[in-house]
Every structure is written in C-alpha cells, then in structure tokens.
C-alpha cells in the first residue's frame, strides 16, 4: 500500500478576498478534491489534513456577536477547533465522494474528529504568540483580559488588539490505530483538521487547552506515525523559491534535507509562511518518510510537480 498524507492549505478552502460563504468554500473544496482524485488514481491510499484558520476566526466572531447580543458564552479554542474539524471535514467528505463517483471510483471517506496531544510543560504556553479571533479596542482587551485571564497583544498593522494563544509542538496523534485500520481497509481518512484538537494528558485523563497546533507539523507527525511513503503540503504557490520575490528569485525543483536546512538557516523562508512547511517536511523525512512535495493543489498528480524534498 502506497500511503500519502496530504495537508491542505487555507486556499484549498477559502481564498484571498472571499468572505467564506458556503458556496465559495464548496467550490474551492471541489477543485481541490478533483486534484486529490488524481493521486488516488495513481494508486495512493490517502489521509487528508487541513487548515482551519479563517473558519475558526469566523466561528469566534459568531461567538463574540452572540455574547454581545444575547449574553451567550464564548467557547474555548479546543471547542472551536472541534467545531471546524466537523464542518470542514463534512465539506471535504461530500465533495470527495462526488469527485470519486465522477471518476468511477468507490471508496468510503471518513472524517475523524481528532485530538492531538501536546505537553502541558511546552515552553509555548509561557509565551503565547498566535493571534486568534476578533479585534478589540485597548479598553475592551483590558476588560476581557481581567475577566478571563486571556492575553491580548496589539496588532502590528494598527487594527486593534487580539487574543493570543500558544502554539505548542504536537507530540502524539490520538486514534492512530483507528486511522491505520481505516487505511488498510481502503478508506480515505480526513483527520488532524486545523492541526488537531489540542489536549494534554494528566494522570491518564485528557482535557482541552487554549492553543492552536500548526497543521503542517501535525500532519507530518501523522505521516510519520502511520508510516506514510509521501507527504504532500499544498499551498498557494507551485514551488518553493529562494530569494522569493526578488529579481534573482530561483524556483526549487528537488532539494535534499541538508540543502533545505541550509536555506532555512540562511533565512530564505519566511516565518508564518514557508518556514513552518519546510520544518514539517524535515520532521517527516527525519522520522521515516521518503519524500515531501510542496506545491499547489492543481499540480497534484503531475510528473515532477512542485518542490520535492528528499533524504540526503
């Protein structure tokens, strides 16, 4: 069985300038699923991870409106991640079933609500940096901080103040055995949505935490745990580049782990953009993986598509 994990980027669900309507997301996901079918036709058994940044933001805005208008309590981050795992998973499942039907393929598509364990002592909890949710005035931010203990930071672009949460490193994917059994039985599994529902374990008991997990790193951990051969990271560019958007920009077609580490150390990849994807690729390749391909969805299934990172 040739297994691949495919991490869908945000543009696979919601594109720049869009509002996030149901019809917009359906169209975007349909296009992405058409590309996924190409991989399946090449004999891959696939597991799908996805981002949820814009969708979680919208959910938090809805909660904020409900709190102000009706006094409804806002829900914590782990609940918001679970909510968007279900809604996004439903969209992918629905569209992928339809595209498989068009291609004459019969497979079950399973969306698994997935918890991802983090370490309660992860240093990230002492220094939250990931902005989430709506913007507030300084007065509102101070009020909510006093009421809830949340931390708020001013937006660098001057849009206001936003809540910040930690982004701890994922250490284990719950339900890995279930995922493996589903793949062995020729099912397609949608899992670790939004990086997974962040949980910690204490004395055998699990509970959710206010955090977000990088979806590419969680997908890389998943790929390693299930022994995937290939790891695809889908983004909004066809190739990774060095000297990005400079006159001497260079498109990378195939590089080794050693070369990727050097480019990363040299600052060639921007934080919050390509650098986390490169780190996820390196984690996968250093934990049993064979190849990682970073590209846009439309390039899936094409020979020599995207940037291929291999051992060496």
Question: Which residues have a catalytic role annotated?
Answer: 10-11, 130, 215, 277
Which residues on neighbouring strands pair with residue 138, listed in sequence order? none
Who contacts 71 (Cβ-Cβ below 8 Å, separation ≥6)? none
Asked if 91 and 13 touch (Cβ cutoff 8 Å), the reply is yes
Contact, 296 vs 238, CB < 8 A?
Answer: yes
* CA angle (272 as vertex; 267, 276 as ends), nearest 5: 70
**286 DSSP assignment:** T
- First CA to last CA distance, the chain: 24
d(CA 150, CA 77): 12
CA–CA dist 233, 310 (Å, integer): 14
Cα–Cα dist 195/115, whole Å? 9
Torsion 104-107-112-116 (CA) sign: negative
Residue 188 CA to residue 47 CA, distance in Å, equals 6
Q: Which of 282, 311, 277, 279 shows the shortest CA–CA distance to 294?
A: 277
Identify the three-state secondary structure at position 306.
Answer: coil
């Amino acid at each position: 069985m040739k297994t691949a994990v495919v991490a869908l980027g945000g543009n696979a669900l919601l594109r720049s300038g869009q509002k996030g309507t149901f019809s917009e997301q359906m169209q975007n996901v349909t296009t992405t699923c058409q590309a996924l079918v190409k991989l399946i036709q090449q004999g891959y058994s696939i597991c799908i991870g996805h981002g949820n940044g814009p969708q979680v933001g919208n959910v938090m805005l809805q909660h904020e409106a409900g709190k102000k208008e009706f006094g409804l309590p806002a829900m914590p981050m782990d609940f918001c991640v679970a909510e968007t795992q279900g809604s996004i998973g439903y969209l992918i499942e629905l569209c992928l079933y339809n595209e498989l039907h068009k291609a004459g393929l019969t497979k079950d598509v399973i969306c698994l609500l997935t918890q991802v364990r983090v370490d309660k002592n992860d240093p990230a909890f002492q220094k939250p940096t990931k902005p989430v949710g709506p913007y507030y005035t300084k007065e509102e931010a101070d009020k909510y901080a006093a009421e809830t203990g949340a931390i708020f930071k001013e937006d660098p672009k001057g849009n206001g103040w936003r809540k910040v949460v930690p982004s701890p490193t994922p250490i284990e994917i719950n339900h890995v055995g279930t995922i493996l059994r589903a793949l062995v039985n020729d099912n397609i599994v949608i899992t670790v949505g939004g990086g997974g529902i962040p949980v910690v374990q204490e004395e055998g008991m699990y509970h959710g935490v206010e955090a977000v997990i990088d979806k590419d790193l969680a997908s890389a951990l998943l790929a390693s745990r299930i022994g995937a051969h290939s790891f695809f990271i889908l983004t909004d560019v066809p190739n990774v580049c060095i000297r990005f958007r400079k006159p001497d920009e260079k498109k990378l077609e195939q590089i080794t782990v050693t070369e990727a580490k050097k480019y990363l150390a040299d600052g060639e990849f921007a934080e919050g953009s390509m650098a986390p994807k490169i780190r996820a690729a390196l984690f996968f390749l250093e934990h049993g993986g064979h190849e990682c391909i970073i590209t846009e969805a439309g390039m899936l299934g094409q020979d020599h598509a995207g940037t291929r990172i291999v051992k060496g």
